[in-house]
Structure 1
Amino acid sequence: MAFVTRQFVRSVSSSSTAAATAKKIMVKHVTVIGGGLMGAGIAQVAAATGHRVVLVDQSDDILAKSTKGIEESLKKVAKKKFADNPKASDEFVQKTLGNLSTSTDAAAVVHSTDLVVEAIVENLKVKNELFQRLDKFAAEHTIFASNTSSLQITSIANATTRQDRFAGLHFFNPVPLMKLVEVIKTPMTSQKTFESLVDFTKTLGKHPVSCKDTPGFIVNRLLVPYLMEAVRLYERGDASKEDIDTAMKLGAGYPMGPFELIDYVGLDTTKFIIEGWHEMDSQNPLFQPCPSLDKLVAEKKLGKKTGEGYYKYK
């Protein structure tokens, strides 16, 4: 009888575990790695929608700067959201900041998180080392996601033992304003993980779209070759930068011309993306580097972030 009872309990326990495993993860606690523009933006929107957020970077100075930027951004959002109610505006800012904490030790905070979102330098080796280390400390249910815009999600996921709980979450800059999030599903990403991330992005007030793990996903796969072709058009002397931008704004209805957009995104970021794709497929004419872009980046003229790029900023 005792044996039968033990077998029954074991069976029920096993069934309960299987049922729990099949359930989607409700993300309540988020750890964001990287306090730059993207990481700070992701942390801001997550904290503003009631999630407990830990923002992680290498130093307290970086985190202090990130937190200050988040507070300033929140005040702008609140001013529009509560235009006729200053008290509600202040409460929104303080409540959001109350949901946000910082740390310089990622391994020490991931043990209690539901989701880790990485937004660090676009370098596969650095990302792999980070996730490989965090994989040892994170809880079993924790989902890992990368905000990479150019690297293969599968290559990053392979550094961990949780390929089924790994996906891409590609936000767009500026995160508080841009509604789109690309949710990237690798061949190993479980349906539960994918659905959990789709639900999470919706709680942020974003619009998720799904894409397989293809270079550039949807937006950048279409956008970056367009930007590079504009540069080639200019390099050949077929048209000036100004006329190319004007043509695309007035002729195609784009809010920015390609050169304005490259300067806004960052010449270094654009160069890194196209170089990564070129390494994967050097024969693809869409993935060929551009000499003028390489030259400007070598001169540290990176666009709006440095005050000079294809255009000079006053």
Structure 2
Amino acid sequence: MTQARICAVGAGRMGRGIAHVFAYAGFEVALLDAKPRAPEEFARLRDAALAEIRNGLTTLAELGLFEATAIDRVVSRIRVVPRSDAAAAVGDATVVFEGVPEIKEAKAEAFALIDPHLAPGAVVASTTSTFLVDELSGCLSRPERFLNAHWLNPAYLVPLVEVSPSERTEETVTEALENLLVEVGKVPVRLKASPGYIVPRVQMLAMNEAARLVEEGVASAEDVDKALLYGLGFRFAVLGLLEFIDWGGNDILYYASRYMTGATGEGRFAAPAIIDRNMHAGRNGLKDGVGFFDYRDRDLEAYRKSRLAGFLEQLRLAGLARPPA
């Protein structure tokens, strides 16, 4: 979809982030204001949106990502469009991202605005972090061209996009969106419609547990966050969570979960059934050659070395890599 034309509906934080991403990658973007506004109010919104995108680009240039001389070229690819011009902005687009606030009525209104003007082959993706694809697909006359694409903020920096098609979404539509996201430097993952998606579901549990540690007086907020930055974050910047289970051993998690459940009396520490099944099937990760992933045909020494190199890079980034005394 190299020739894709992008429309981002909603000129708030998410819409601006998406416009930044695609303009940076060389695409023309229409950033459509979904709200009716007086001309002078729209002019203020337009200027604020472009200024925010420019400021983000300027910061990235100052941090050494690219030469600042490219900023004007990137910003020139974005046009902020008033609601009154929705027909032209939407009708010209091959891919439309909806990014209005997480209120179902606001979503429905945005889809009612764009649906009559969509080109027959256009792909429509909601960026919602709240609603499932089937809760929104009925708002469009062509649900087979619709799916969810959950970006993480800041959208112009975080690589991940969680792509959730419905059973009615055409496979070619999902593949086309995934390919487009890869083209602009994103990392799409596909999942079934499920509350919390992947990242919000996992991070919600982690954030609540961190808050409980402070509430229970186990450690100060400063020390909890320091532990998570230099322990949890350090590890999981290199290893995926399931990969880490295999790395350390599924059996370790099995026994640790049993201990924590008994010691705290809290069912939230109990392991899911798949951990028990893997334990008793001898699928405990690297030491068994198979766990959540299959390592039997992998060069384990090269694999371990590559992950250790990743840890070393994290040490360097943290300013903690030192030569021997």
Query: CA offsets, 1:35-73, max 9 Å, x none?
Result: 222211110110111211011223332221110111122
Give the letter for the 2:25 counterpart: T
1:150 equivalent in alignment to 2:126 = no
Q: Count how many residue pairs are aligned between Structure 1 and Structure 2.
A: 229
Question: How far off its partner does 1:26 sit?
Answer: 5.7
* Cα distance, 1:26–1:193 mapped onto 2, change above 3 Å: farther
- RMSD value, Cα: 2.5
Contact 1:56–1:63 (CA under 8 A) maintained in structure 2: no
* Cα distance, 1:253–1:30 mapped onto 2, change above 3 Å: closer
Aligned residue for 1:120, secondary structure, equals coil
- Equivalent position to 1:96, from 67, 74, 91: 74
* Cα distance, 1:197–1:136 mapped onto 2, change above 3 Å: same
Question: How far off its partner does 1:103 sit?
Answer: 0.8
Give the letter for the 1:52 counterpart: E
Partner of 2:109: 129
Contact 1:143–1:165 (CA under 8 A) maintained in structure 2: yes
1:186 equivalent in alignment to 2:162 = no
Question: How far off its partner does 1:77 sit?
Answer: 3.1
* Cα distance, 1:95–1:253 mapped onto 2, change above 3 Å: closer
Contact 1:110–1:134 (CA under 8 A) maintained in structure 2: yes
Aligned residue for 1:144, secondary structure, equals strand
1:40 equivalent in alignment to 2:23 = no
Unaligned runs of 5+ in 2: 36-41, 237-266, 270-325
Question: How far off its partner does 1:228 sit?
Answer: 2.2
Distance 1:74 1:240 in 2: 36
Contact 1:169–1:184 (CA under 8 A) maintained in structure 2: yes
Partner of 1:31: 7
- Equivalent position to 1:204, from 180, 184, 189: 184
Give the letter for the 1:100 counterpart: I
Distance 2:141 2:24 in 1: 32
Distance 1:81 1:228 in 2: 34
Aligned residue for 1:158, secondary structure, equals helix
Contact 1:163–1:189 (CA under 8 A) maintained in structure 2: yes
Partner of 1:75: 58
TM-score (normalizing by structure 2)? 0.64
Aligned residue for 1:135, secondary structure, equals helix
1:1-314 paired onto structure 2 within 5 Å: 28-57=4-33, 58=35, 59-79=42-62, 80-83=64-67, 89-90=68-69, 92-105=70-83, 106-253=86-233
Deviates more, 1:231-240 or 1:101-110: 231-240
TM-score (normalizing by structure 1)? 0.66
Distance 2:10 2:235 in 1: 29
Where do 4+ consecutive residues of structure 1 move more than 4 Å? 236-239
Partner of 2:247: none
Distance 2:65 2:95 in 1: 28
